[in-house]
A and B are shown apart, each in its own frame.
Chain A
Amino acid sequence: DTAVSQTPKYLVTQMGNDKSIKCEQNLGHDTMYWYKQDSKKFLKIMFSYNNKELIINETVPNRFSPKSPDKAHLNLHINSLELGDSAVYFCASSQFGSRSGNTIYFGEGSWLTVV
């Protein structure tokens, strides 16, 4: 069973379209994240939810809107896609307050290409 799963894995779409990426974790974690990895492999946090509450909201265009219906799911909706949005988007999860530290587990990634 995949611990953090996201769909779709590959997405090719035209500029101006709206698209969503879904993420689910079965680790029982209370915190979920969206990270973006650009073509130079730079990994940067976008959003984080703890028990469905938004706790990290980096400087991201408001065309990006996360939604957490419950603590096992975190979706990312992107409006009016632009060429610069092309990247790999990783969902991740962790358990806050763990004695062994806030280990973050990543999903397999969603490769978004905007043409």
Chain B
Amino acid sequence: QQPVQSPQAVILREGEDAVINCSSSKALYSVHWYRQKHGEAPVFLMILLKGGEQKGHEKISASFNEKKQQSSLYLTASQLSYSGTYFCGTEVRGSTLGRLYFGRGTQLTVWP
């Protein structure tokens, strides 16, 4: 049930772009994206509910391909503040709503 995230780690210079992928073997109701900084709680970034939905949050956006059961998180013109671990969480169709299965996370490091 747990989604697979890739890559496991990304190192960027400020201003560079990155893509983080999240793939599930199950049909999905929604995909959630969170960022967690060291020693802190996961912070909600966005939720995607419909296949094909795309959402944006400043220079961070995401897409959801329901047919492929995949979501991607796009970080453009990265800033130092983007550093952290990014998690996707999936709500699986037919499973209890609210039961999020989290990926293992992608460690993003942005250098000046």
Write the residues of chain A forming the contact surface with B, with a CB cutoff of 8 angstroms. Answer: 31, 33, 40-45, 48, 50, 55-56, 90, 94, 96, 100-109
Contacts and interface: CB of A to CB of B under 8 A. Distances in A.
23 contacts: A31-B98, A41-B36, A41-B105, A43-B87, A43-B102, A45-B99, A45-B100, A48-B96, A55-B96, A55-B98, A56-B96, A56-B99, A96-B97, A101-B49, A103-B32, A103-B47, A104-B98, A105-B44, A106-B43, A106-B44, A107-B41, A108-B41, A109-B40
Contact of A90 (B42, B99, B105): B42
B30 A102 contact: yes
Given A56-B96, A101-B47, A103-B47, A43 B42 contact: yes
B66 interface: no
A102 B97 contact: yes
List 10 tightest A-B contacts by C-beta distance, closest first.
A101-B47, A106-B41, A43-B102, A106-B42, A101-B49, A108-B41, A102-B98, A41-B105, A109-B41, A56-B99
A55 B96 CA distance: 8
| Count class of interface residues, chain B | 20 to 34
Nearest to A4: B41
Interface string B72-106: 00000000000001010101000011111110110
Contacts of A31: 98
Interface of B: 30, 32, 34, 36, 40-44, 47, 49, 85, 87, 89, 91, 96-102, 104-105
A90 B41 CA distance: 8
B44 A103 contact: yes
Contacts of A105: 44
Contacts of B99: 45, 48, 56
Contact of A41 (B40, B44, B47, B85): B85
A101 B30 contact: yes
